[in-house]
Every structure is written in C-alpha cells, then in structure tokens.
DNA sequence: GTCTATATCATGATAGAC
DNA sequence: GTCTATCATGATATAGAC
C-alpha cells in the first residue's frame, strides 16, 4: 500500500532527526545530515513535515507524549492502590522517573534530546512545551500535596522543578560523570540509577524549611 | 593608548557574545548578530579571537573562572573557620550555590549561558570544561566526605551531580516556572532562591540509602 | 510520492586598502 | 587596528519532471 511506504519514509526521517537533533541541537543538525542518515531525499522532509521547525516539533512530541502518558498511568495505578491514603512519596517520584529510563532503553539519544530541549529549547517550542506539561505538572503537584501536607505547595513546586533538573541533567551526562570522577563511575544499570534518583529526591522533597540564619 | 582601544573592542564583543550565545546557543548566534550588537566591524571578531569557536570558549571561561574561584575562596574560609571539624553541609552547598547568583547579578544572560553550556556544550568545549572543573569537583567531594562520613563517596558524587543539575535547570527557567505554576511563582529574590536550593540539597545529600524493594 | 535541479539567502572567514 | 568588499560554502525551501 502507498500509506505503508509513506509511513516508512516518515519514520525513517523522525528516527534520524531524533538522533541528530539530540547530538547537535536544532540549529546544529542540518536537513542534509538528517536526510542522508535516513537515506531519503532531501525534499522528503518538506513534503512530510513542511518545515524544519515542524519536523523538530514532531520529533519531540513523539517522545514526550508516550512518556507523560506512561507517567500518568503509573501514578493513577498507585493512587487506586492507595485508596483513601496518599500515595507514598517514593512511589510518586518513581512514577515520574522510571518511565524516563524505560522509554529510553535502546534509544541512545532519547535522553539527550529530552535534556537539550528542556535546557535550551528552540524559541518556537515554548508553546508546545507548555501545552504538553501543563496537565501533568498539576497532577503531580496535587499528589505531592497529599503525600506531604506539611510542606507549602509553592515549596513543592520548586522542589519538583529541582528534581526535574537533576533528572535531565544526569540523564544527559553519563559520560561527563565518568570523566569527572576519574573512572570511579561507569554507566551503571538502569535500576541503580532510578533508585539513586528516587532516594535523593524523596529526601529532598520533605526537607525542613530552615530558618533564616542570624549574621 | 592603543591597548585601551583594543581592550574596549575586545570587551564589547565579549559582552555581546555572552548575551547572544546565552539566548541562541553557539550555532544559533551568528557573528553578524554579535558584531552588530557590539557595534563593531564584522572582521573584528576574527582579528581579536581568530575564530568563532575561540570567541565562544573565551566568553565561557570569562564567566566560569571567577565563579569557581569565588566558590573555592568561600569554601576555604569555611574550612578555616571549622578548624578540625568538618564544614557543616549547608555551608558547603551554599559556598557552591551562592556565588552563582551573586556573579549573575546585573547580567541577565549569565545563568542562561551557564546552563546552556552544561546541558548542550558545543563539542569543542568538552576538554575546556573538563579542565575548568576537574580541580573544583575534587575539592567539593572531599569536603562532602568529611561532612557526611556515613555516605559512600560514589553516592556523594552522584548527589552533587544531581544538585548541579537542579541548580542549572532552575537558573535557566524562572520564566518557565512562572508559566507552569500559573502565576503562583514569580521571580523571587536571590536570597530566597539560595535558601530554597540549599535546603533542598542539604536534605538530599544525606538521604538514607533505601533497601531494594521486595516485589 | 519521490526525485533532480535549482533558487535564494546567510554563514564564517579572508584579502587588501587605509 | 579597522574598514569594505568578497569568497566559498552550506543552509532551507521550492519547482517541476517522472
């Protein structure tokens, strides 16, 4: 069928784009590189995606939508399991963190693209990002409020933001860590990474608020 | 004197480059934009910095060297003050975090350039980054080991890395936060930001290591 | 739907007058 | 040291044959 052929080219381009945008960023990756890697014609990008900007947007939403959907699925399961009780804090955080590494399995540039797009999103992505994350951020804040009623909501918001920063930064820097640690750290297994991040964030989320220090 | 004139042009270019690299990244900022903003001739970049890559490297080292120097100064003061005792954990973290925001005062793109360069450094920056951070990372790990003898050094290394991620991510996203929080969060004052981050990281650094869960 | 060929423009860098 | 003018290259996007 024709649609199958179309879908193949479409996907080949998206796969190549994912890897090259992750490696070189929006401005750094050229359509020539992408179409060469995808082994399709240069014009295929414009035919299937119209512009480079739209190609980038689709490349990113293709990874972020299933990720956020999976997060909400696991969080909802945990809420059903907890019944009237709040979901335990580590379970909330793990529902956010674990899917990141699960969906990244076998896609070496998945995490790099995520991190890059959050830390330095091309300007045309601002609206798209806000749309993709508006719902999920509210869901998580509510779950956190139930789990930690003693912490002010605004504080929870900040801390969740810090946690996302820690997650993305680490995700994109496994090699850097090996470098700075002089070989003490080599890319550990996924379960260790998840456990470490959940432990870190769980402790951090319920930090006491320090009183302003005297001089 | 001629050297004064040279230094003026030199600095005008660096200032313009700092702001434009922060906003658009290495590939996104063009030499024409930079020289236009600096109100100097296009060729001045090549004359003073040879290539665009060297201009970027100088732009970044100009902000990172005083920053890391200030961090070490404050940490050393704290160590002298502590004598034979370990420096308290919050003091260690604050010596790392505070200079970031102090040196950023009055330079709106300082933090954005920092964040961007760490999350998506141009490939030619890898060596330079490693050189600039090798010494300071070892100094901080040692201080953390003294303050938290019960936490394995490798765990400390990871957690410090998470903390840097939280710091940089937040630094570059004050506007994003205001957006996602639906106006609940508006750029707070520097002291609040520092306190919040230090509280968060202090609790996280001494997190207990959770036992692997049973199924 | 896919290709070749090309239009149009912006890029980094350089040559050479002053 | 600073300018103008320009080069060679590579960018995105499009027109039109097949």
pLDDT in tens, A124-159: 999 999 999 999 999 999 999 999 999 999 999 999
pLDDT at A215: 42
Closest CA-bearing residue to C1' of C5: A43
Q: Map out the domains of chain A as residue ranges.
A: 1-50, 60-205
Provide, as residue numbers in chain A, all residues whose Cβ is less than 8 Å from the Cβ of B120.
Answer: 25, 115-116, 119-120, 172
The two tokens of residue A32 are: 């020539």
Which chain B residue has the Cα nearest residue A130? B180
Determine the distance in angstroms separating the CA of B52 from the nearest CA of chain A, rounded to an integer: 14
d(CA B186, CA B179): 9
- The residues, ordered by sequence, that sit 6+ positions from A162 with a Cβ below 8 Å of its Cβ are A204, B166, B169, B170, B197, B200
> CB-hemisphere CA count at 13 Å for A107?
21
Tens digits of residue pLDDT in B57-104? 999 999 999 999 999 999 999 999 999 999 999 999 999 999 999 999
Nucleotides on strand D with an atom closer than 7 A to protein CB?
A: 1-6, 10-16
Residue A22 pLDDT exceeds 70: yes
Chain A contact for B10 (CB, 8 A cutoff): no
pLDDT at A211: 64
Give B158 CA → D12 C1' in Å.
42
Do A21 and A113 form a contact (C-beta atoms < 8 A)? yes
Helix (H) or strand (E) holding B23: helix B2-28
Write down how long chain A is.
215
Averaged over B162-170, what is the pLDDT? 95
Which nucleotide is nearest to B8 if distance is taken from CA to C1'?
Answer: D1
Class of domain A60-205: mainly alpha
d(CA A98, CA B83): 43
Topology classification of domain B1-50: Arc Repressor Mutant, subunit A (1.10.10)
d(CA B201, CA B203): 5
pTM of the model: 0.93
At B173, is the pLDDT very low, low, confident or very high (cuts 50, 70, 90)?
A: confident
- The residues, ordered by sequence, that sit 6+ positions from B126 with a Cβ below 8 Å of its Cβ are none
- Is 1.10.357.10 the CATH classification of the domain at B61-205? yes
Closest by Cα among B72, B205, B67 to B146: B205
What is chain A's percent helix, strand, coil content, to nearest 5?
Answer: 75, 0, 25
């Amino acid at each position: 069928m024709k649609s199958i052929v179309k879908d193949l080219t479409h996907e080949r381009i998206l796969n190549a784009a994912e890897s090259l945008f992750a490696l070189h960023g929006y401005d750094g990756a050229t359509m020539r590189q992408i179409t060469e890697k995808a082994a399709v014609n240069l014009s295929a990008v414009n035919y299937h995606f119209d512009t480079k900007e739209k190609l980038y947007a689709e490349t990113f939403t293709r990874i972020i939508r299933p990720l956020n959907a999976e997060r909400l699925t696991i969080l909802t399961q945990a809420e059903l399991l907890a019944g009237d009780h709040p979901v335990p804090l580590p379970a909330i955080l793990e529902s956010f963190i674990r899917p990141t590494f699960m969906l990244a399995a076998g896609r070496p540039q998945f995490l790099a693209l995520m991190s890059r797009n959050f830390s330095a999103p091309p300007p045309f992505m601002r609206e798209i990002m806000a749309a993709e994350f508006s719902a999920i951020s509210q869901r998580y804040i509510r779950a956190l409020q139930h789990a930690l009623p003693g912490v002010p909501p605004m504080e929870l918001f900040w801390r969740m933001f810090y946690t996302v920063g820690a997650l993305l930064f680490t995700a994109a820097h496994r090699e850097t860590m090996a470098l700075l640690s002089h070989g003490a750290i080599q890319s550990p297994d996924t379960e260790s990474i998840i456990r470490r991040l959940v432990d870190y964030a769980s402790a951090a989320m319920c930090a006491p608020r320090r009183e302003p220090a005297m001089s």
